[in-house]
Amino acid sequence: MINKTVSGAKEAVADIPNNAFLMMGGFGLSGIPENCISALLEKDIKGLTIVSNNAGVDDFGIGLLLKKRMVKKMISSYVGENAEFERQLLSGELEVELIPQGTLAERVRAGGAGIPAFFTPAGVGTEVAEGKEIREFDGKLYLMERWLKADFAIVKAWKGDTAGNLIFKGTARNFNPIMAAAGKITIAEVEELVPAGALDPNEIHTPGIYVQRIFQGENYEKRIEQRTISK
């Protein structure tokens, strides 16, 4: 079986250049590639475009890349909870493209699946529809949306094997599997890396064919945004 293992985050992100087009898995701070974000922070690159459902918080996740002015553009569905983001956006240092969450997910899925365009009802009659083809099917209006593909997709999984097969945990799965398929180079960091053959082939969420580099991450903080407890 093909071995995708690299030594760690530093090697995994070593060839990500200025102005790269990236995807990063995660929803809020859940399921984000913490190790790769740290390794990117050590690199002297800028002008990144990042597709990610959210933009982290001021002092964690993608927020750290924003603070270091490494990001030119965010493509997201929701970017609240981030004061530095707001400052850069209002000052014109940062561009943002807001996309309905389901359209974002389907555009990424389409990128991985070789579907250059598809129709969705989300956004019809709204400013999201501006400049897009609108078409009626079976009496309902739909927008045409295009695929999204990335130079590098960076994802975080729970378990992975050396062949690049991935299993996610809980709702930390979110955008990770579909982004894994949409990267020209896909980097997966996992909490536990096992030999090929150690995972049940029937329980794998992301087939290894989509993953070019894998390593076992360390020191996961897994910060919680809204710790909500039952009375």
Partner 1 sequence: MLNKEQIAQRIAKEVQNGQYINLGIGIPTLVANYIPKNLDVVLQSENGLLGIGPFPKESEVDPDLINAGKQTITMVPGSVLFNSAESFAMIRGGHVHLTILGAMEVSENGDIANWKIPGKMVKGMGGAMDLVASAENIIVAMQHCSKDGQSKLLPECTLPITGIRCVKKIVSDLAVLEISPEGGFILKERAPGVSVEEIQTKTAGKLIIDGPVPEMSFN
Region 139-168 residues binding a copy of itself, contact defined as CB under 8 A = 140, 142, 146, 167-168
Query: One symbol per residue from 186 to 205: x for binding a copy of itself (CB under 8 A), - otherwise; what is it?
Result: ----------------xx--
Q: Determine the 3-state secondary structure of 196 from DSSP.
A: coil
Shortest Cβ 92–partner 1 spacing (Å): 14
Token output for 144: 């045409």
**Residue 210 CA: distances (Å) to CA of 9, 39, 155, 205:** 18, 22, 11, 11
Asked whether position 120 contacts a copy of itself by CB under 8 A, the answer is yes
Binding test (CB under 8 A) with partner 1, winner from 38, 45, 58, 128:
128
Select from partner 1, a copy of itself, none the partner in contact with residue 228, using the beta carbon and a kind-dependent cut-off of 5 to 8 Å: partner 1
Beta carbon nearer to a copy of itself, 167 or 211: 167
Chain CA centroid to CA 167, Å: 16
Q: Which stretch binds partner 1 (CB under 8 A): 5-13, 15-23, 63-71, 100-108?
A: 100-108
Q: Which stretch binds partner 1 (CB under 8 A): 12-20, 35-43, 120-128, 131-139?
A: 120-128
Beta carbon nearer to a copy of itself, 78 or 119: 119
H-run or E-run covering 86: helix 83-91
- By CB atoms closer than 10 A (0-12, 13-18, 19+), residue 196 is middle
How far is Cα 43 from Cα 49, in angstroms, rounded to an integer?
15
How far is Cα 30 from Cα 156, in angstroms, rounded to an integer?
10
What is the Cα Rg of the chain in Å?
18
Binding test (CB under 8 A) with a copy of itself, winner from 137, 219, 228, 231:
137
Shortest Cβ 123–a copy of itself spacing (Å): 13
Q: Which residues pair with 146 in a beta bridge?
A: 117
Select from partner 1, a copy of itself, none the partner in contact with residue 208, using the beta carbon and a kind-dependent cut-off of 5 to 8 Å: partner 1
Token output for 92: 């014109």
H-run or E-run covering 51: strand 48-51
Site of interaction with a copy of itself (CB under 8 A): 106, 110, 113-121, 135, 137-138, 140, 142, 146, 167-170, 202-203
